[in-house]
Amino acid sequence: MTITIPENEVPENGRTVQDGAATVEFRGLTRRFGATVALDAHDLTVRPGELIALLGPSGCGKTTALRMLAGFEAPDSGAVLVDGQDVTGVPAHRRDAGMVFQSYSLFPHLNALDNVAFGLRMRKVATAERRSRAAELLELVGLADKGERFPHQLSGGQQQRVALARALALRPRVLLLDEPLSALDAKVRTTLREEIRRLQQELGITTLFVTHDQEEALSTADRVAVLRAGRVEQCSTPTELYARPATAFVAEFVGTTSRIPGVMSAPDTVEVLGRRVPATGAGIAAGTDVDVLLRPEGVDVTPDPGAGARVVATAFLGATTRVTVRLSNGVEVKADVPTRRTAELPVGTPVAVGLPDQEVLVVERPRTAT
């Protein structure tokens, strides 16, 4: 897996980038645990000052990649470079990276201020300076009045804010976040991820954020790298990743997707539900049986007494309601419709299914064993 951050490049959204934002490369990086390949060689480019989310299921290699950059894990092959210098053999405390863990890892015998100042103390920073710096960081994360409290006197969200302040205290060139929000309840998690994003943009620090939560990745990152079995399937902006997934794995891992059987009528056209629509795939030949992958917001359903499809379930989502439709061939399709329309779509209603106007992603249908 190769991660490259070009020097002196401002991210496309024009936000401020911290002076000296680090250039990081993972070159041909591979790590095996017995017969399991945790991380395989791959190329990925990351701009300075942006937040990259590494997203994927458990065991896909995202945390292994992060730990190798931090210096906590050694690769079997390949090299880790920071600003062009090979740091593969450099110990973690010399990597100039701040890391925030899922488990907070605060010292229980130290108050919040001393926890934040701990790294500065290890670097023999003068007492007055380190306490002043720690107080500044606590104010930055909204805990200016909690400096004298010990970890057990803080909520989970407050403890994670202290851990974030501690990671930032040494002014690291790279910030590494290893599923920092997964132990928190939903409301606190949402608030804190917004706070992390605000701080990251304000400081302009290059950040790698590991998560298995797609909503967290899509709402926080500049770009998201979806990993599978140690390889990056796709790295794109959240909008691109969701709207134009490169593979079936990405389409089904990120968001909700329905599979509808179709047949390729040409290399760039698929026949599905009695219509021919433009398709994107891996150059699948005409006549090939395929599955068409559709997002629920791209599917429309309307009452039609003569249709063979039927509504089999509805789920209220607020402004929209997710309607599950069973086609005449038994395949189920999900569609998001305005909630105001649900009165006309009760369970059992015969409906016609409309397809999106844009290109649809198709994948060759797996052959059934005989």
Alpha helices in the chain (DSSP H): 62-70, 112-122, 127-140, 156-169, 186-203, 214-220, 238-243, 248-253
The set of residues, in sequence order, having a beta carbon less than 8 Å from that of 174 and lying 6+ positions away, is 22, 24, 69, 82, 95, 96, 97, 98, 205, 206, 207, 208
Lowest average pLDDT, out of 14-28, 101-115, 180-194, 200-214, goes to 14-28
How far is 306 from 352, CA to CA, in rounded Å? Answer: 9
Closest Cα partner for 174 from 231, 100, 237, 224?
Answer: 100
The set of residues, in sequence order, having a beta carbon less than 8 Å from that of 170 and lying 6+ positions away, is 96, 98, 119, 120, 123
Q: What percent of the chain has pLDDT over 70?
A: 93
Is pLDDT at 333 greater than 70 in this prediction?
yes
Average pLDDT over residues 166-192: 89
> What pLDDT was estimated at residue 10?
41
> What pLDDT was estimated at residue 11?
42
With cut-offs at 50, 70 and 90, classify the pLDDT of residue 6. Answer: very low
* pLDDT tens per residue across span 34-84: 888 888 876 676 778 889 999 999 888 899 989 999 999 999 998 888 888
Strand-strand pairing, 350-354 and 300-303: antiparallel
Is pLDDT at 132 greater than 90 in this prediction?
yes
CB 203 within 8 A of CB 182: no
How far is 249 from 148, CA to CA, in rounded Å? Answer: 48
Alpha helices in 11-143 (DSSP H): 62-70, 112-122, 127-140
With cut-offs at 50, 70 and 90, classify the pLDDT of residue 263. Answer: very high
pTM of the model: 0.84
How far is 324 from 328, CA to CA, in rounded Å? Answer: 13
How far is 75 from 288, CA to CA, in rounded Å? Answer: 42
The rounded mean pLDDT for the chain is 87
How far is 154 from 137, CA to CA, in rounded Å? Answer: 16
> What pLDDT was estimated at residue 282?
66
Q: Which residues pair with 222 in a beta bridge?
A: none
Tokens of 317: 């989502």
Average pLDDT over residues 298-327: 94
Angle between helices 156-169 and 127-140 (to 10 degrees): 130
Identity of the amino acid at 49? G
List, in order of start, the domains of the chain with CATH numbers: 1-96+173-178+191-246 (3.40.50.300), 108-171 (no CATH), 251-364 (2.40.50.140)
Question: First vs last Cα of the chain: how many Å apart?
Answer: 39
With cut-offs at 50, 70 and 90, classify the pLDDT of residue 370. Answer: very low
* pLDDT tens per residue across span 201-245: 988 888 999 998 999 999 999 999 999 988 889 999 999 999 889
With cut-offs at 50, 70 and 90, classify the pLDDT of residue 12. Answer: very low
> What pLDDT was estimated at residue 42?
64
With cut-offs at 50, 70 and 90, classify the pLDDT of residue 167. Answer: very high
Chain centroid, CA 353 distance in Å: 31
Average pLDDT over residues 307-325: 95
Residue 281 has a CB neighbour count (10 Å cut-off) of 22
With cut-offs at 50, 70 and 90, classify the pLDDT of residue 331. Answer: very high
Mean pLDDT is highest, among 3-7, 117-121, 125-129, 311-315, for 311-315
Name the DSSP letter for residue 309.
E
How far is 56 from 359, CA to CA, in rounded Å? Answer: 25
Is pLDDT at 7 greater than 60 in this prediction?
no
> What pLDDT was estimated at residue 151?
95
Tokens of 158: 């407050």
> What pLDDT was estimated at residue 161?
93
Name the DSSP letter for residue 244.
S
With cut-offs at 50, 70 and 90, classify the pLDDT of residue 182. Answer: confident
Question: Three-state DSSP class for 162?
Answer: helix
With cut-offs at 50, 70 and 90, classify the pLDDT of residue 3. Answer: very low
